[in-house]
A and B are shown apart, each in its own frame.
Chain A
Amino acid sequence: MNPNGTMPTYLGMPAFPDAARAAVADSQLRRNLTHATTAIRTKRARAVAELGDWEDLRQAAKAIKDHVLANLGTYLPRLEENVTRAGGHVHWARDAAEANAIVADLVAKAGAGSVVKVKSMATQETGLNSALAARGITAIETDLAELIVQLGDDLPSHILVPAIHRNRAEIGELFRRTMPDAPAGLTDEPARLAAAARAHLRSEFLSATVGISGANFAVADTGSLVVVESEGNGRMCLTLPRTLISVVGVEKVLPSWRDLEVFLALLPRSSTAERMNPYTTIWSGVTPGDGPESFHLVLLDNGRTATLADSVGRQALRCIRCSACLNVCPVYERAGGHAYGSPYPGPIGAILSPQLRGFSSPVDASLPFASSLCGACYEVCPVAINIPEVLVHLRAKAVESQGHYSERSVFKLSGYVLRSPRRLAAAQRAASFSRYVVGRKGRIRRLPPPLSAWTDTRDAPAPPPESFRAWWARTRGGAELRGRRPAGDSPGTSE
C-alpha cells in the first residue's frame, strides 16, 4: 500500500506546530472556536449527567467494540452475507484508491453525472470528491456544514461540525458569493442562511439518481446500516435516489441489533448533546417500491487492519466519531482543526491519522506530540479510548522510527544525568553556581534555543543556592551521594 495514498487530499501538510502557529495568531478563528466548543461542551456535560448509568454504558460500548475488533473475521463475512441476502451488493476496498475506483465505476454505470452526498467521514478520508471530479462526476455535499466547506473550497476542521471555524457573518458572505440561487438581500441571520441552503439543496435531492453515504454502524446479524443525523438531508440522500452507495470502515460493524441500544444512547449525547438525534435512518439491502432500487456497500480498510496489529494503538478503532474529544481539547480549541492535516482532527485525529497513514510525513510524525496530555479527551470519550496512553505509545514509536539526532542526544545525556543521584547532585551544584550568571531576581528571562521557545513568552526560574538534597544532607546528616560511577555507565548506555 502506498502510504501517501491513504488520505490523498492531505498530501504535503506542514508539521502540526507550524500549522498551529498561524491558527493561534488568527483571533477571529480563536473566537469562533472558543465560542463553539465552549457552548457544546457545557451542553454535553449536562446531557451526560442526566443518565445515571453513563459509565456502565461506556464500559459496555468499549467491550462490544473490543469484541468486534477481535472478531472481524466472523462479523464482516456475516455482514456481507446478510447485506447480500437483503438484496445489496458488497465490495471490499483495501485502500482509498480502490474505494474511490469502486464508487466511480458504480456511478458511471448508473449513468449519473452528479451525486448527492450524506455527510461521511470515510469518503472525506478517501478524498472521494476529487476522485469523482477526475472522472467528470460532480459530488454535492448536502450536510449544511459540509456544504459550507465545499462552497468555500475549504477543508473540514471538525468531525461533527466541519465548518466550525466559520462564523455566521463569514457564512453569509460565502453564500452570497458562491450560491447561484441565493435569495437577494440574504442576511447573516442563521434561520435565513439555513433556508437559503434548504432551497438550494432541494432541487439537487429531487433530481439526483445516485446517493453516497457512510454509516455510523453496520449490524452484522441483520445486514442493516445506520446513519444518525440532525438535519434530515441525509435521509433525503438515503431514500430519494435510485442508487445508494455507502462507504464504510470495517470497524463500524456491530454484532447484533440490540447492540444499537448502547450506541444510540452514547452517540447523540456525546456529539450534539441531544438525548436523541432527530433522524436515525436504518436500512437493510433494498425494499421494492421503497427507497433505492440498488444498494452497494463498500467496506474500507485503508490502514485499519494494520492499526489492529498494535495492541495499544488499536483502541483508536473503537471511535464512533462523536467529536466529544475535540470539543474538550484545549489544544484543538486554540490550534483549530486544519493544523491536524486530516479529516480527523483533535485528540482522536492525533492518534488515528498517524496509525492509518504511518509516520512518514511531517504532520503525521508531529501529531502524537500535539497534546499536553491533559487527559480531558479520555474523560469524555464514550468508548473509553485512553488517548493519552496511545499518544505516549505513538511517541515512542515515532522516536524509534525516525528520531531527531540532536534531540536524541539531549535526551540521552539528560537520561544519563537523571538516572543517577550522584550526577543529578553534581548537575544541581553546577546549576546553583550558574544562577550568578543567568538569574536576575530569581528569574531567567532568556535562554538559548530550543529553550528560547519557553522564554519567548514565559520566564524560567533561576536555580536556588542549594538543592533540596544538599539541604537535607547538610541539615539531616544524610551523606550526599558522590563518588565513582558504576563501570560501564556512560551517556550512550541506557541500562
Chain B
Amino acid sequence: MRIGLFVTCLTDTLFPDTGKAVVTLLERLGHRVEFPMAQSCCGQMHFNSGYRREAQPMARGFAAAFAAYEAIVTPSASCAAMVREYHPVLASGDAGFAREVAEVAPRVHDLATFLTSVLGVTDVGAYFPHRVTYHPTCHSLRMMHVGDAPLRLLREVRGLELADLPDAETCCGFGGTFAVKNADVSAAMCADKVAAIRASRAEVVCAGDNSCLMHIGGALSRMRTGVRTMHLAEILASAEGR
C-alpha cells in the first residue's frame, strides 16, 4: 500500500513533531510513508470563513498532490473531514475537478481510524508512562465518526493511565476563525474545557487535531496549569527507551 502523509499546513508549520511521530509510528508498523512535497493546505480556514474562491485552488492542489496514493493519512480529523465533505462542494460544476476529488477524497483517513480500521491494529507497541486524558475533537467525532478508535489505541499503550474527561464531547471553542471573531464566547468555552481537564487530574491531554490542542494548550499554559498537550500520534509513537 502506497501511503501518502498529508501533514496539514498547521502541523507542518507549528507542530513538526506530530508529523515526525506519524512517520515513526507507521514505519515501526512496517509501512513506508511518503511525503509529497507538492502538498500545502486543504483550504479549510478559507472555506469555513466564507472565502470559497480562495479555497478552491487549494482543493485542486490537494487532489493533484495526492492522486498517486492508495491511502492518504493525516494527523488532523478536521482537515480529513474538509477533504471528504467539502472538497466535492468546491469541485462541483467542474466535471474534471469533481472526478479528481471523487477519486482522492475517500482515500483520506485520519490517523486513528487508519490504524484501527484500515491497518486493523490497536496495539502499536507504544510506551508512555503518564496519566493521560483524551479530548474527542468535534470534527473527529461528528464528521469523521472516529468513535472510540482513539481510546482503543490509548488503552493498549504500556504504562499509560487513561483518565476520564468530564463533558468530553463538548467543543473546546476553537472553531478556526471563531476563536478570534467570537473571542469572548470561545474563551469561555475553553475555560470550561480547561476546568474539565484539571478535574481529570491528567498530566497530558491528547487529541487527534493540533488546531484544537493549540487552543486548549494556549489556555493551559496561560493559566499555568502545568498540564501538557500532545497529539495522539506522539503518544502512540513513544516507545520504551526513547
A residues near B (Cβ < 8 Å) are 16-17, 20-21, 24-25, 30, 330-331, 334-335, 368-376, 378-379, 392, 395-400, 408, 411-412, 414-415, 418-421, 424, 427-428, 431, 443, 445, 450-451, 453-454, 456-461, 463-464, 466-469, 471-473, 476, 478-481, 494-495
Contacts of A418 in B (CB 8 A): 9, 40-41, 43, 46, 58
Contacts of B239 in A (CB 8 A): none
In the docked arrangement, what's the CA distance between A459 and B179, Å? Answer: 13
Given known A411-B46, A468-B20, contact A419–B61 (CB-CB < 8 A): yes
Contact of B182 among A20, A468, A481 (CB under 8 A): A20
* Chain A interface SS verdict (over half): helix
Question: Is B200 on the interface with A (CB-CB < 8 A)?
Answer: no
Among A408, A420, A450, A472, the one with the most B-chain Cβ atoms within 10 Å of its Cβ is A472
In the docked arrangement, what's the CA distance between A203 and B34, Å? Answer: 78
In the docked arrangement, what's the CA distance between A106 and B162, Å? Answer: 66
Question: Is B189 on the interface with A (CB-CB < 8 A)?
Answer: yes
Among A373, A411, A451, A458, the one with the most B-chain Cβ atoms within 10 Å of its Cβ is A458
B178 in contact with A458 (CB, 8 Å): no
B179 in contact with A494 (CB, 8 Å): no
Among B164-181, those with CB < 8 Å from A are 169-171, 173-181
Supplied contacts A375-B141, A494-B54, 14 more A-B pairs, CB within 8 Å: A17-B185, A24-B188, A30-B188, A330-B189, A334-B185, A374-B138, A412-B54, A415-B46, A418-B43, A419-B54, A463-B14, A464-B14, A468-B16, A480-B37
A463 in contact with B183 (CB, 8 Å): no
A428 in contact with B13 (CB, 8 Å): yes
A469 in contact with B221 (CB, 8 Å): no
A395 in contact with B142 (CB, 8 Å): no
In the docked arrangement, what's the CA distance between A464 and B19, Å? Answer: 13
Q: How far is the CB of A213 from chain B (nearest CB, A)?
A: 35
Among B47-101, those with CB < 8 Å from A are 47-58, 61, 86
Q: How far is the CB of B199 from chain A (nearest CB, A)?
A: 15
Contacts of B139 in A (CB 8 A): 373, 375
A469 in contact with B12 (CB, 8 Å): yes
A-B contact list, 27 entries, CB within 8 Å:
A20-B185, A330-B170, A334-B185, A371-B175, A372-B171, A372-B182, A376-B170, A411-B51, A415-B51, A415-B55, A418-B40, A418-B43, A419-B58, A428-B13, A454-B183, A456-B183, A457-B191, A459-B221, A459-B222, A463-B13, A463-B14, A464-B15, A467-B12, A468-B7, A478-B37, A494-B53, A495-B57
In the docked arrangement, what's the CA distance between A421 and B176, Å? Answer: 21
In the docked arrangement, what's the CA distance between A480 and B13, Å? Answer: 14
Contacts of A453 in B (CB 8 A): 179-181, 183
Q: How far is the CB of B68 from chain A (nearest CB, A)?
A: 14
In the docked arrangement, what's the CA distance between A451 and B177, Å? Answer: 10
Question: Is B39 on the interface with A (CB-CB < 8 A)?
Answer: yes
Among A400, A454, A480, the one with the most B-chain Cβ atoms within 10 Å of its Cβ is A454
B173 in contact with A375 (CB, 8 Å): no
In the docked arrangement, what's the CA distance between A460 and B169, Å? Answer: 24
Among B53, B61, B217, the one with the most A-chain Cβ atoms within 10 Å of its Cβ is B53
Question: Is B226 on the interface with A (CB-CB < 8 A)?
Answer: no
Contacts of A395 in B (CB 8 A): 48-50
In the docked arrangement, what's the CA distance between A479 and B35, Å? Answer: 11
In the docked arrangement, what's the CA distance between A294 and B19, Å? Answer: 72
In the docked arrangement, what's the CA distance between A16 and B190, Å? Answer: 19
* Chain B interface SS verdict (over half): helix
Given known A330-B189, A395-B48, A419-B41, contact A376–B142 (CB-CB < 8 A): yes
Contacts of B184 in A (CB 8 A): 17, 20-21, 24-25
B54 in contact with A415 (CB, 8 Å): yes
In the docked arrangement, what's the CA distance between A479 and B38, Å? Answer: 11
Contact of B54 among A411, A459, A460, A468 (CB under 8 A): A411
Q: How far is the CB of B153 from chain A (nearest CB, A)?
A: 22
B38 in contact with A335 (CB, 8 Å): no
In the docked arrangement, what's the CA distance between A248 and B12, Å? Answer: 53
B20 in contact with A471 (CB, 8 Å): yes
Residue of B nearest to A456 (CB): B183
B138 in contact with A373 (CB, 8 Å): yes
Residue of B nearest to A335 (CB): B185
Among B146-167, those with CB < 8 Å from A are none
B37 in contact with A421 (CB, 8 Å): yes
Contacts of B48 in A (CB 8 A): 373, 392, 395
Among B1-53, those with CB < 8 Å from A are 7, 9, 11-20, 35, 37-41, 43, 45-53
In the docked arrangement, what's the CA distance between A428 and B14, Å? Answer: 9
A398 in contact with B50 (CB, 8 Å): yes
Q: How far is the CB of A375 from chain B (nearest CB, A)?
A: 4
Question: Is B196 on the interface with A (CB-CB < 8 A)?
Answer: no
Residue of A nearest to B59 (CB): A419
Contact of A375 among B20, B86, B143, B182 (CB under 8 A): B143
Question: Is B121 on the interface with A (CB-CB < 8 A)?
Answer: no
A458 in contact with B35 (CB, 8 Å): no
Contact of B218 among A330, A459, A466 (CB under 8 A): A459
In the docked arrangement, what's the CA distance between A370 and B35, Å? Answer: 36
Residue of A nearest to B7 (CB): A468
Contacts of B173 in A (CB 8 A): 330, 372
B40 in contact with A419 (CB, 8 Å): yes
Residue of A nearest to B18 (CB): A468
A331 in contact with B185 (CB, 8 Å): yes
Contacts of B38 in A (CB 8 A): 421, 481
Question: Is B227 on the interface with A (CB-CB < 8 A)?
Answer: no
Contacts of B102 in A (CB 8 A): none
In the docked arrangement, what's the CA distance between A460 and B219, Å? Answer: 9
